[in-house]
Amino acid sequence: MTDETAPPAEAADANADAEPSASPTEAESPSAGRQLVGFLRDVVIIIAVALIISFLIKTFLIRSFFIPSESMQPTLEVDDRIIVNQLVPELVPVSRGDVVVFRDPGSWLLGTPPQPRTPIEAAGDWLLSLVGLSASDSEEHLVKRVIGVGGDRVVCCNDLGQLLINGVPINEPYVRTPAGASDVSGIDFQVTVPDGALWVMGDNRYESSDSRYNRTGDTEGFVPLDDVVGRAVVISWPLDRWIWLDNYPLTFDGVERAE
């Protein structure tokens, strides 16, 4: 006997098919709010990873410095930005002719007034320094060219006004001297560079307070390798001055290590 109050099986199936159901797209797609949260999360992660990578690069590989003085003209102009390879001298040895950045080895910067900068420039420089794109401590460092390495005998000058390294005169195409100058230094000297140290000079020889002018200090004008931050490899700013920095290997090619 059939219960007439219950719908027939076929009718029940038809009614079930007729009931509305949520589309798969609507059920599975996240809300606009969840999409925004996910997007912001991804942005934060990307920025955090970029900052970490930049920090590691700054700490171990490269740094940027700006040039505050005229002592390295014509190679480096005031306010140039340079990229420095920090693997020198820890993993890569310093060579004659390299342009190096180093910490003040002992009162070389005494009395040097800081360059004036607006608060916005100072703040921007500090922020960029966090990721190695600038150096807010540039004025606490010096940049010069390496002329003598440990063991070298450096003498100024021969009758042609040239420096001699281990008795070999060198022709320095990077040097700027004033008109009428009789030699590339303006100061006579004879030094033997101790092991673990450097003898450095600016390219703008008559306007550079370098090893020649600091011989009365504790380091006697020599720069300890421990104070070297790295070797300048490229001018990165301004863009119209972008260039790899030459260490002029041919200039020092004939110089042998002193016995």
Assess whether the previous peptide bond of 156 is cis (omega < 30° from 0): no
236 is catalytic: no
Q: Determine which one of 71, 185, 208, 211 is catalytic.
A: 71
- The DSSP call for residue 201 is E
Spatial distance between the Cα atoms of 95 and 223, rounded to a whole number of angstroms: 14
β-strand 141-148 against 99-103: which pairing, if any?
antiparallel
- The DSSP call for residue 115 is P
Q: Determine which one of 69, 129, 144, 211 is catalytic.
A: 144
Contact yes or no for 148/94 (Cβ under 8 A): no
At 144 the three-state DSSP class reads: strand
69 is catalytic: no
Distance from first CA to last CA of the chain, Å, rounded? 122
| Catalytic residue list | 71, 144
